[in-house]
Amino acid sequence: SQQGEEDPQALSIQEGENATMNCSYKTSINNLQWYRQNSGRGLVHLILIRSNEREKHSGRLRVTLDTSKKSSSLLITASRAADTASYFCATDAEGTYKYIFGTGTRLKVLA
Amino acid sequence: DTGVSQNPRHKITKRGQNVTFRCDPISEHNRLYWYRQTLGQGPEFLTYFQNEAQLEKSRLLSDRFSAERPKGSFSTLEIQRTEQGDSAMYLCASSSTGGASHGVNYGYTFGSGTRLTVV
């Protein structure tokens, strides 16, 4: 079963625009992560945010976490064609040591 | 190569045959995970090991599936009597506990996956 759900399922933007993806989850968590997956490839870890953190930055990525709403967002600023990929959030429920992935957002950045 | 390595990259097999996949994690990572991913879906958890101990198995993992991690290093995932519904990408990931025996989770490093096609 999927713990998280990303929204929107698909997103198409022009190069240079910002892309925002949202993730909602169901149970209390220790951490939330975002991953990127290019078509037919493995997943690449982007950023991990702990349940006691509210915001984290890494390069052009900004992640927020609202544990009261059980939601997170991933913002990619100044998008590039190379950002075209599927993006997944993953959460580890309290007391567990595994991450459960959401259904993903397919991002297409048009040059 | 310091990444997670999975072999083979692709496997085509006839229904009813057995297949085995191998995963070599990052050497200092003590946790190893197997996931399955079908087209358009997120990865689904199958099982995980801490060192050589298999600590959790998903209900998705029928008795045709078995995973091992002898000596706490590489891992194998075997599927017996394959069915067409087993066709998927099988992903392996490893992570560290940062020296803690429990209670700490870090990010995963994934391998490139093994794509299984059952015909």
Q: Kindly state whether A54 is in contact with chain B, defined as any CB-CB distance less than 8 angstroms.
A: no
**B42 shares contact with chain A (CB less than 8 Å):** yes
Beta-sheet strands, E only, within chain A: 5-7, 10-14, 19-24, 29-37, 43-50, 55-58, 61-66, 71-76, 85-93, 100-101, 105-110
Q: Using the beta-carbon criterion (under 8 Å), do A2 and B42 form an inter-chain contact?
A: yes
B7-44 per-position pLDDT tens digit: 999 999 999 999 999 999 998 888 999 999 999 899 99
- The pLDDT tens digits of the residues spanning B37-68 come to 999 899 999 999 999 999 989 987 889 999 99
What is the model's pLDDT at position A40?
80
> What pLDDT digit, counting tens, does each position of A62-73 carry?
999 999 999 999
> Å from B18 to nearest chain A CA?
24
Please compute the mean of the pLDDT values over residues B83-92 and round it to a whole number.
Answer: 96
DSSP state of B81: S
